[in-house]
Homo-oligomer: A and B are copies of this chain.
């Protein structure tokens, strides 16, 4: 049982990461207006958010720059056009996917870049490649985190081997990532304990990135805070792939550190997120995401169901059960 002080006092090690442009970009192919991004940067500054993730450093060899908004590629100049020299307490992050990022070429030395944190995203079967990227980013001077994706499908023994390898790398933060929105809070607690054991051994921090397939993204995030996880991802209006993420407005309202302020988040939602939805951008909890989360499946079938405007939930249920 967690102590009541968790809800009255706060832990100053907690860091909040705004992943709206990055995970939300998966919903609208990263086509955000400059005004949206500028106002989001200002809102994060005012809200006391610690890191703002601008998007991906995606390979321009693999992805056509004419088919996505610029935040799929996060050129340093594009970030600088928003943040200038960013002489603020808000740090800048980008995500670099193993196998989908020309990191040697596309990630400049930190002193030449507005970026502070490189978030390396990997599956369990590409951990050695992730370590190469972590070392490259660290050698260039960045803070580095590592997201191990889709762990709800992982064998606990293999996960421990991965954490032991990452522990010996120069990475700063291990991330718990519930890619399929499949995990319940009691599972988060067990997984957090595993991560924290290796974090203690190797002097790392632990983070969490949740998905809302079963309306548990916020609940799983605050479960993790109570367990000792310090780095917390949120997105405005929970915007993110499929069922979306942990809502920033819920997260900042929950955290007791006086440096956080939910009002600028509410204002940004009123000014920008309502319009996104009116314009037809669709994300958030619905039955199809519950089903893939429940069955611990990738949400791609549910995303397709959503894009096609289908409402025949029972047919979809039969389809995903057949995939199981």
Contacts and interface: CB of A to CB of B under 8 A. Distances in A.
Interface string A294-316: 10000000000000000111100
A4 B190 contact: yes
A313 B269 contact: yes
A7 interface: yes
A190 B5 CA distance: 13
Nearest to A317: B266
B218 A186 contact: no
Contacts of A290: 249-250, 253
List the number of copies, as a whole number.
2
Interface in A269-324: 269-270, 274, 287, 290, 294, 311-314, 317
A218 B222 contact: no
Contacts of A63: none
A155 B7 CA distance: 17
A1 B190 contact: yes
B215 A218 contact: yes
Interface string A224-267: 00100000000000000000000101100110000000010011
A184 interface: yes
Nearest to A253: B294
Contacts of A247: 215
B270 A186 contact: no
Contacts of A313: 266-267, 269-270
A57 to B, nearest CB: 32
A189 B1 contact: yes
A45 interface: no
Secondary structure at the A interface, as helix, strand, loop or mixed, is: helix
Nearest to A237: B287
B215 A267 contact: no
A187 interface: yes
Interface residues of A, number: 41
Interface in A188-234: 189-190, 193, 212, 214-219, 222-223, 226
Contacts of A214: 218, 250, 253-254
A317 B187 CA distance: 35
A312 B193 CA distance: 42
Interface string A161-184: 000000000000000000000001
A185 interface: yes
A219 B210 CA distance: 14
B215 A270 contact: no
A313 B274 CA distance: 11
A223 B263 contact: no
A9 interface: no
A105 interface: no
B270 A312 contact: yes
13 contacts: A1-B186, A4-B190, A214-B218, A214-B253, A214-B254, A215-B250, A216-B218, A216-B219, A266-B313, A267-B313, A269-B287, A270-B312, A274-B311
